[in-house]
Structure 1
Amino acid sequence: MSLLTMRGVRKAYGDNVVLDGFDLDVAAGECVVLIGASGSGKSTLLRCVNLLETVDDGVIELAGEDITDPRVDADKVRSGIGIVFQSYNLFPHLSVLDNITLAPIRVHRMPRDTARARALRMLDRVGLADKASAKPDELSGGQQQRAAIARAMVNSPQLMLLDEVTSALDPELVGEVLDLLRELKSEGMTMVVSTHEMAFARDVADQVCFLHQGRPLEVGPPRQVIDSPQQTRTQEFLSRISGTTGR
């Protein structure tokens, strides 16, 4: 049974149609990787799932609930979804620990001691237990991104959305973030990941979805979409970013 279901999702900004009748199913515990050129709709798709954007048409269901219903409590929905962007969005004047506890305390009204205990456990989980009192600018880019992932996970979300989380990192720091995502997948976290890291997609994804002009042009296991793409547009995209279509 799908944890996340999207049917006929459409999103436009004026005359610019970004998502055009988008369908996708994500099972619990599954990692779906979104690939495609800039402007193909990957980021907008994730923002629609997290209700940061309002869809113009179609339905998004999370655990059987229609979260596109205008009567839905958006804050309650977001509390069950973690989202991480390519920019870390950490508050520079707060410690790492305070960054992670801010939303649980201020938004979700979690007792301070409970929030701190959860945050410290999560920092230990991502290998940053010794950085709790540090300010973000005292961390490397990879450490800041891991802190952002810890912040997204502190409320034990049922779904994680990750939007190009390695694109702002120096190449030598990419591996540590991808290793963390591999660990989360192995522990059963349901994830939808937008990335250009084809090795990660090939190794970790259950499904790869190639977006073109706001539609899922090709969807399937990595060995199909990455190694043996059937669509010409998919072949062209993979050729541009890796020099091979897998054929």
Structure 2
Amino acid sequence: MTELNVLTIEGLWKGYRGRHVLKGIDLEVAPHEVVCLIGASGSGKSTLLRCVNLLEEVDDGTIHLEGAEITDPRVNADDVRKRLGIVFQAFNLFPHMSVLDNITLAPRQVHRVPRAQAERSARDLLERFGLGDRAGAYPDQLSGGQQQRVAIIRAVATQPKLLLLDEVTSALDPELVVEVLGVIKELKNAGMTMIMTTHEMSFCREIADTVCFLDNGVLIEKGPPAQIFTDPQEARTREFLRSVMESGRF
């Protein structure tokens, strides 16, 4: 029996003030798959993630999460978001809360996990990702890389069915990027299903199962990293990768 896709997007359109940002996107994400979205700024990558998380209302098309349509207007968006995790380039940690409280807030308040259990799980995650000694620290006492690692830990603390990562390293100094990418690699090894937007082409090539190139709201090409980066079939994909290589980002 074929395992049900975690996510299925069919014919997704989204526009703002008469300008189409996403144009008929089709995408399937299998369990434990890592999908990387690449493309120039403004190509629609972040908007696609926001539509999946129901932060944006789609204009046409459907999104199914584990077989159930979530773009139906009757669907409770908050219930859907309980099954998703999302991390943005801005860390968005609560500055007045400790690391431990940031991580346990959603498990306790949204998922009704007892405090002791939530804190035990949070400490286990902090240890796993090299932050075991920072549970009592506050966000302004952490480096940017540490803050982003905490943001990712907070997102996975609710055991989401799908993790969305939107340019999570773009706000970091280069020396801090490696530690955040290490967390993502560990999550992949543990079987987390993920969609991530990134400009880190080398990392994308290493971690992705499927790479999707978006250009001007259109999903131009998708395939395994070896095909996309070594033998892209579309001229626009080749042009984009050539410009990335010339800029030194690959």
Aligned to 2:119: 116
Partner of 1:162, secondary structure, is strand
Letter aligned with residue 77 of structure 2:
A
When the two structures are aligned, how many residues end up with a matched partner? 244
Partner of 2:66: 63
CA distance in 2, matches of 1:129, 1:148: 15
What CA deviation, in whole Å up to 9, does each residue of 1:73-118 have, x standing for no partner? 2112111111000010011121111111222223333322222222
1:170 aligns with 2:147: no
Q: Percent identity?
A: 61
- Cα-Cα RMSD: 1.3
Does 95-104 or 152-161 show the bigger shift? 95-104
| Cross-structure match for 2:215 | 212
> Which one is further off, 13-22 or 97-106?
97-106
The corresponding residue for 2:29 is: 26
Give the equivalent residue in structure 2 for 1:80: 83
C-alpha separation between the residues in 1 aligned to 2:42 and 2:206? 25
Distance 2:127 2:86 in 1: 20
SS of equivalent residue, structure 1 residue 133: coil
Equivalent residue letter for 2:99: V
TM-score w.r.t. the length of structure 2 is 0.94
Q: Residue 236 of structure 1 corresponds to which residue in structure 2?
A: 239
- CA distance in 2 between partners of 1:182 and 1:116 (Å): 24
Answer with 234-243 or 36-45: which moved more: 234-243
Please identify runs of 4+ aligned residues in structure 1 that moved more than 6 A. none
* 1:186 corresponds to 2:189: yes
1:40 to 29, 35, 43: 43
| 1:100-179 equivalent positions in 2, closer than 5 A | 100-179=103-182
2:6 alignment partner, SS class = strand
Long gaps (5+) in structure 2: none
How far apart in 2 are the matches of 1:86 and 1:216? Answer: 22
CA distance in 2, matches of 1:73, 1:161: 19
Deviation at 1:46, TM superposition (A): 0.4
Q: Which residue of 2 aligns with 1:197?
A: 200
- Secondary structure of 1:2's counterpart equals coil
Using the alignment, how far apart are the partners of 1:27 and 1:113 within structure 2?
33
5+ long unaligned stretches in structure 1: none
Distance, in Å, in 2 between the alignment partners of 1:199 and 1:179 is: 13
**Stretch deviating more after TM superposition (120-129 or 26-35):** 120-129
- CA–CA distance in structure 2, aligned partners of residues 93 and 177 of structure 1: 23
1:167-212 deviation per Cα after TM superposition (whole angstroms, max 9, x unaligned): 0111011111111111111111101010011111111111100001
**Cα deviations across residues 46-87 of structure 1 (Å, max 9, x unaligned)?**
011111111111010011010111111211211111100001
AA aligned opposite 1:20: K
Deviation string, structure 1 residues 102-159 (Cα, Å, up to 9, x no partner): 2222333332222222222222222211100001111111111100000000111111
Secondary structure of 2:7's counterpart equals strand
1:12 aligned onto 2:15: yes
